[in-house]
Structure 1
């Protein structure tokens, strides 16, 4: 530990009561500022995820306010694709805690590492769910600011293979709540503070300039690009090089980066608009981005050469077979998942 680093307490033992309401059941993840536990409400026995901000961070004003903002942001949005916040508080000894629904599954980053790039239709379905969730967040005046595969959690829900839950609103930014976010909102956002993950940052975010909901549009475009190509559109050997590419380089062609995916030409045009360096020329909302993605998928199906029907049928059958095998495998591994792969919200703590 560096000599100037604050002393962080050891993890709380299993069985510890939080505010006389929640019992810690299992430590899921430990970070520099706290931990995430699987827990249960002592009255209802409902299983939950409990995120703790430990000493001394729970007494540090900026960190504590950011933690509180996460609770406020997620508690005000009711949406199938946003993790549900159940409770927030501070214990008598100063530990801040956030209680959310417990998720079973994995984040998209883990999926990409295991499977590589995804078929366009599957990737599009995933990102359209993200668009729907963030459109609702934006209607509440909340921008995420750190959208990336690691903050998109895949859970099993009603037989859906890729049901997405957005997590980690820890650096969310509040804008005025309005039904249609206007240009005037830009002047009300913060300047001078860079928060987020470099690969997914819009140019205006990476320079610490004024930001609005369109940085989430940009990040969603990057996520889609990564899902369909297996690569990031802008990635340098250092963070500084990545920022330079984000600010100056043209959007690369997804079709050229992943020729084997046979992506439609319209997809490259969508990426040019979603990742435009000028936010005024970028796709203007999450609803518009979702509609544009749906249109690209539809046009891709219509543009398939008629003479290639047999090959297309083989590809489609193979894809469906792989999907069936995944479903069968999932059913067979449910018991193991429950005990060995319980992964609560993968926040950065």
Structure 2
């Protein structure tokens, strides 16, 4: 039975249904006294169980509440044995579980799957060290959220139905999903952390291929396959995957626990190493490919969630290197459907979620590093990742560095020291005139306010309050004092930073807002919310601005995008994510086919529009984009 809005369970007021499964449903709820949103899981199918089962559930939920790890969804509260319903109150994570991502987007790229599995493995290994098994590891119990920096993070959920390793009570017949269950559990043998390793291996196989390793309609046949059948080769379903992955999954799915990885982290480490090797091989292959000559029309891609010359949390595919041609290019026709060619790579130790150029385009920033564009040498390195670079190149905004602004000349912090929850700076944008810096983040200590700063002094210059959750995206309208902000409360808000007041009503969306970009004339606002692209037409001047939704953009609702931006002349719009798509803004028709490319998280264009830097897995790649005439 589904609960109506306003129903009170354990002191929590139900708002709306988030999702339902075989054992019950999850609701968005709020505790009036604590004023905190939670994900309230009601285990409807277990509510009529006996007193012993209720005591076991309460014990296990208490164990889950003791787990404190960034890759585990925190449990705040749970039902008592004498309550009519069994329930767990958990942190509300604005995102989707991995099974939903599979249904919407299909099998994941190896680099993306490796990152998600690494996150989940970290959470599971922490729980195992605390003496707690999960016992139901599967994609549906892996929540994926996108941080304000555009970086994906996976969290394990449903530890509330796990049990302590040294307890003898079992719930395997009810709690586990057969498609992911280790053989020893079907046989009633003792299970340890290696049973979760087995389930994680099954989940990895599904993330990469789109189906479980042993897919049978009859449960008895599926159980028999877990007990006796050899694991299928993932390269049979995905020939593009490295052959070494078959050995990794075979070891994770070994019938005997002693033959498996001892820890989830060991499995994740080998998958990550294969992903790095595949990426390096792809880069080397692109370096040896001779590009073809095509007609020229430069498209600068920049802005997005950060500064005008800066960044978007996005993915960009292979872009054509400028002024290069093959030896016989004069006799070769242009290739309008594939105008993308690799240029070079700037290595970093981890994923680059923001990148930006200096004002003359001679340097590029990615992660904590600054490179000389011509020589590709590191010329400087900051203590924290660079979020935005001011248009005059004098200042940068760093991620959670303890200071709102940093000088580029000597890397010196400007302004008062920020600490604790006040040190919350995950997205940033400098105003067009350079007089203000706008920053946002999780908002734990700032009430989800967007904060304004003076770049020259680092002193506070105002607060814009109105968002009720994390701020993920910030963009200034060109040559204006209008600022757009968006985030996890699924709204875009417009502000006049001159008066520090909101402009018009919030623009509602169906999911968290990940990216914002204004057209050069400021008349169109592109919004990526929940991986879909939404356009708004803005009319009037502040404070009398009206926004009208643009409905006729083809292929904008494919759940594939992470960010969007416009060309500097306003003639084209680009959206990127799991694929890249270009549109002609005069007709709003796609320019060429979409290109599928995963693993990129940020992009920035040089001021003259001839170079492009795309940050993502293992570094910053340099590209040029040329469109056919």
Band the TM-score falls in, shorter-chain normalisation: 0.7 to 0.9
Contact 1:193 1:208 in 2 (8 A): no
Structure having the larger proportion of residues in strand? 2
SS at match of 2:190: coil
**1:274 lines up with 2:448 in the alignment:** no
Residues in 1 aligned to 2:66 and 2:60: alpha-carbon distance in whole angstroms: 10
SS at match of 2:317: helix
Number of residue pairs matched? 310
Residues in 2 aligned to 1:30 and 1:293: alpha-carbon distance in whole angstroms: 32
Residues in 2 aligned to 1:11 and 1:190: alpha-carbon distance in whole angstroms: 30
The 1:319–1:76 alpha-carbon spacing in structure 2 relative to 1, beyond 3 Å, is farther
Paired position in structure 2 for 1:346:
none
Give the C-alpha shift of residue 56 in structure 1.
8.2
**1:285 lines up with 2:298 in the alignment:** no
The 1:91–1:255 alpha-carbon spacing in structure 2 relative to 1, beyond 3 Å, is closer
Query: What is the correspondence of 1:86-235 to structure 2 with a 5 Å cutoff?
Result: 86-90=76-80, 94-176=84-166, 194=173, 195-235=175-215
Give the C-alpha shift of residue 338 in structure 1.
5.8
The 1:121–1:208 alpha-carbon spacing in structure 2 relative to 1, beyond 3 Å, is same
SS at match of 2:205: helix
Give the C-alpha shift of residue 196 in structure 1.
1.1
Paired position in structure 2 for 1:236:
216
SS at match of 1:337: coil
The TM-score, its normalising length taken from structure 2, stands at 0.44
Residue deviations 1:245-303 (CA, integer Å, cap 9, x gap): 111111221112211xx211211111121111111111111221222222222333345
**1:251 lines up with 2:231 in the alignment:** yes
Query: What is the correspondence of 1:26-37 to structure 2 with a 5 Å cutoff?
Result: 26-29=16-19, 35-37=25-27
Contact 1:29 1:36 in 2 (8 A): yes
The 1:66–1:116 alpha-carbon spacing in structure 2 relative to 1, beyond 3 Å, is farther
Contact 1:52 1:96 in 2 (8 A): yes
Residues in 2 aligned to 1:73 and 1:301: alpha-carbon distance in whole angstroms: 40
Contact 1:191 1:211 in 2 (8 A): no
Paired position in structure 2 for 1:83:
73
Paired position in structure 2 for 1:14:
5
Residues in 2 aligned to 1:101 and 1:278: alpha-carbon distance in whole angstroms: 36
Paired position in structure 2 for 1:6:
none
Contact 1:235 1:242 in 2 (8 A): yes
Residues in 2 aligned to 1:37 and 1:312: alpha-carbon distance in whole angstroms: 54
Contact 1:235 1:245 in 2 (8 A): no
The 1:39–1:192 alpha-carbon spacing in structure 2 relative to 1, beyond 3 Å, is closer
The TM-score, its normalising length taken from structure 1, stands at 0.76
Query: What is the correspondence of 1:5-84 to structure 2 with a 5 Å cutoff?
Result: 11-19=2-10, 21-29=11-19, 35-53=25-43, 57=47, 60-84=50-74
Give the root-mean-square deviation of aligned CA atoms: 3.5
Paired position in structure 1 for 2:511:
337
Residues in 1 aligned to 2:287 and 2:146: alpha-carbon distance in whole angstroms: 33
Give the C-alpha shift of residue 12 in structure 1.
4.9
Residues in 2 aligned to 1:267 and 1:55: alpha-carbon distance in whole angstroms: 38
Which region of structure 1 is more displaced relative to structure 2, 66-75 or 146-155? 66-75
SS at match of 1:47: strand
Structure having the larger proportion of residues in helix? 1
Contact 1:18 1:91 in 2 (8 A): no
Unaligned runs of 5+ in 2: 292-314, 320-339, 341-352, 354-471, 474-485, 492-508, 514-528, 531-629
Residues in 2 aligned to 1:312 and 1:120: alpha-carbon distance in whole angstroms: 26
SS at match of 1:336: coil
Give the C-alpha shift of residue 309 in structure 1.
3.5
Which region of structure 1 is more displaced relative to structure 2, 241-250 or 118-127? 241-250
Which region of structure 1 is more displaced relative to structure 2, 108-117 or 85-94? 85-94
Give the C-alpha shift of residue 170 in structure 1.
4.1
SS at match of 2:126: helix
Which region of structure 1 is more displaced relative to structure 2, 23-32 or 166-175? 23-32
Contact 1:236 1:242 in 2 (8 A): yes
Residues in 2 aligned to 1:191 and 1:166: alpha-carbon distance in whole angstroms: 20
Residues in 2 aligned to 1:300 and 1:167: alpha-carbon distance in whole angstroms: 30
SS at match of 2:69: coil
Residues in 2 aligned to 1:92 and 1:197: alpha-carbon distance in whole angstroms: 28
Higher normalized contact order (CA 8 Å, seq sep 6+, divided by chain length): 1
Contact 1:235 1:241 in 2 (8 A): no
Contact 1:74 1:82 in 2 (8 A): no
Contact 1:203 1:246 in 2 (8 A): yes
Which region of structure 1 is more displaced relative to structure 2, 332-341 or 192-201? 332-341
